[in-house]
Chains A and B, each alone.
Chain A
Amino acid sequence: MLNTATLSLDQAPPISIPFRYFLTAPLFGLAAALMLLINGPDLFLTRWSPLTLGLTHMITLGMLAMVMCGALLQMLPVIAGSPVPGVVAVGTFCHILITLGTGMLIFAFLSGSVVGEVVALGMMGGGVIVFFVAVTIALWRVKHVSATIVAIRLAVAALLITLLFGLLLGSGILGSLGFGDIASLVDVHLAWGLLGWIGLLLIGISYQVVPMFQVTPEYPPRLRRLLAPALFVGLLIWTLLMLGAISGVVNGWVAEVGMFILICGFVLYAVTTIRLQAQRKRRVPDITLLFWRTGMLFIPFCALIWIAGSVSPAIGNDPHYSLLLGVGLLLGVGVAVINGMLYKIVPFLSWFHLQNRQMSLMCMTVKVPNMKEFIPDKAARLQLYLFQASLLLTLAATLFPAWFAHLAGLFFLASNALLMKNLLLAMHRYRQTLHALSAYAESAQSSSDGVG
């Protein structure tokens, strides 16, 4: 008999693969919130404190990279027509290594444990490299290379570069070589992570999902074709300028000018996205859109902060400045966008897998919930408000830590708790329906056994 289930599922990984990544993200969010709640103002002294570094990586690796990796494993068959080879093994392995590696890295930052650091770097290195290799194979095999695929390829390359700089910085090799200017290299590491990996992936995915979710016009073809490659080359050049500045060959301001041009590219992307969304044909209220809008508004906001810091040394050298910029980018852009995406991806995947099961069983008695029955709009909207409040409070905490830090932690805790609850609710409904379908399959089986 024709197995209809495998026909449309043969390329999609089992639902448990992306879901484990999606459910891990709010756990790190909760951990980060607890840290904010407990340590409060201590987190906002300087970006260099071990506590702050730990918190930063909880968000970048534990939340952002976690969801991005899970989503890539899921989406590549759909947007690229090219499944990730060995997706179950790769997905399981990378999830364990990235989760434990992130936990270990945070432990190492907080405790200063050298062993912890070595284990953390080994795990992160192993997890990211396996992920990189598997995804690169899938991306290599793509037949029709769209602008999205180009951007994803570059983003994944940027992930590897971020990792390499991270390993270099974490291993302590530089210190033992007597290398003094660690701070500039940290900037290179985070530029590749934030602008390269997160930024380019966001741009590539936007080309697909912005027109798709709200029925907007397409991004202008020239922007689609050129922006991501230009930003990647720009990042490379900027990195060389930074290395030149570190070794005293190039004046530091040349690298600043390079960064300014890169930032203009991202602002162009954000403004274009806001304009396209304003022209959307689909005008029903949409929670994901509201999350995205927050993210898109924070790109020019962060650009302005960066410009202020570059123009005025008084601002640029203030420890609050980089914290404000960091919170704006990580929470304002990164978390906002991935949190919003989860409200589309999770209900859709739940529906998709169940619907396929239902069709393969030809079962009309068990009803598959629609997307909004997995996660009701009301619950998602409340979480959006909690998130936005926590974002504003965390921004305020960078300037007035004593007043706002604990409160920011409290709201971020509530936001992530509700996100977790919403995701678990979707999963619960998924399981419930799956059980009902399995029960139907069994009863159909036993009745046909009885007859035959």
Chain B
Amino acid sequence: MTTITETMARNHRHCDELFAQAEELIAQGDWVQGREQFEAFRDTTENHFTMEEGVLFPGFEQRTGQTMGPTQMMRMEHAQMRQLMADMEAAVAHEDDERYLGLSETMMMVMQQHNMKEEQMLYPMTDQAFADDAEATLQEMKML
């Protein structure tokens, strides 16, 4: 059986890889591929957020009755990352590599400590809360 923790953690790693490729291309001044890769990163990350905010978090809140707990904090951090990605997009539009690299460094830290909290605390909690529904929930998220 695949757990929510494993699947979502794998999705995090995928986002990390796209992120690193985009950053490297932009650092090398390759804006054509860099832009493409950045957009792939942004879309994959946005899709990941949607899976969480649309399915995983509401389901967790419903089952545990916790609406102001960890899920609320994760939503806040999604908002932080969305703002950073918007700034990164602007830097890509202006082809401002120095600004992009400063933002991507920041994004990296936020993203990683966010992932750490999810993978070590929230996802195991959701696996517990969803129990037998976990696989069905994963299927539902894949549809998004």
A binds B: yes
A residues near B (Cβ < 8 Å) are: 4, 7-8, 78-79, 81, 143-144, 146, 208, 212-213, 215, 281-285, 344, 347-348, 351-352, 355, 359, 370-373
On whether the beta carbons of B20 and A281 are closer than 8 Å, the reply is: yes
Binary contact readout B12-40 vs A (1 if CB under 8 angstroms, 0 otherwise): 00001101110110010000000000000
Residue pair A359, B27 in contact (C-beta under 8 Å): no
- In this complex, how many residues of chain B approach chain A with their Cβ under 8 Å: the count is 33
CB of A289, distance to nearest CB on chain B (Å): 12
Q: Is the CB of B117 within 8 A of A372?
A: no
- B77, B80, B99, B103, most chain A CB atoms within 10 A: B80
* Contact A284:B73 (CB < 8 A) given known A215-B17, A371-B109: no
The answer to whether B117 and A373 touch across the interface, beta carbons within 8 angstroms, is no
Q: Does B120 belong to the interface (CB within 8 Å)? A: yes
Which residue of chain A has its CB nearest to the CB of B69? A7
Instruction: Name the residue on A nearest B13 (C-beta).
Output: A215
CA distance A78 to B116 in the complex (A): 8
Nearest residue, chain B, Cβ from A367: B87
Question: What are the residues of chain B within 8 A of A143 when measuring CB–CB?
Answer: 121
CA distance A431 to B106 in the complex (A): 19
- Whether the pair B106, A284 counts as a contact (CB closer than 8 A) is no
Is A7 touching B72 in the complex (CB atoms < 8 A)? yes
Give 20 A-B pairs besides A7-B72, A281-B20, A284-B23 with Cβ atoms closer than 8 angstroms.
A78-B117, A81-B117, A143-B121, A144-B120, A208-B116, A215-B20, A281-B21, A282-B16, A282-B20, A283-B20, A285-B27, A347-B105, A351-B106, A359-B79, A370-B87, A370-B102, A370-B103, A372-B98, A372-B105, A373-B102
Q: B residues near A, CB below 8 A?
A: 16-17, 19-21, 23-24, 27, 72-73, 76-77, 79-80, 87, 98-99, 101-106, 108-110, 112-113, 116-117, 120-121, 124
Residue pairs across A and B with Cβ atoms less than 8 A apart, 28 shown, are A7-B72, A8-B73, A8-B76, A78-B117, A81-B121, A144-B120, A208-B116, A212-B116, A213-B112, A215-B17, A215-B19, A215-B20, A281-B16, A281-B21, A282-B20, A282-B23, A283-B24, A284-B27, A284-B101, A284-B104, A351-B106, A351-B109, A355-B80, A370-B87, A371-B109, A372-B102, A372-B105, A373-B102
How far is A284 from B102 in the complex, measured between Cα atoms in Å? 12
Q: CB-CB < 8 A to B105: which residues of A? A: 347, 370-372
Chain A residues whose CB sits within 8 angstroms of the CB of B73 once the complex forms: 7-8
Contacts of B17 in A (CB 8 A): 215, 281
Partner of B102, one of A81, A355, A371: A371
Taking CB atoms, residues of chain A closer than 8 Å to B19 are: 215, 282
* Shortest distance between the CB of B113 and any CB in chain A (Å): 5
**Is A284's CB under 8 angstroms from B76's CB?**
no
Compute how far the CA of A143 lies from the CA of B99 in the bound complex, rounded to whole angstroms: 39
CA distance A86 to B98 in the complex (A): 40
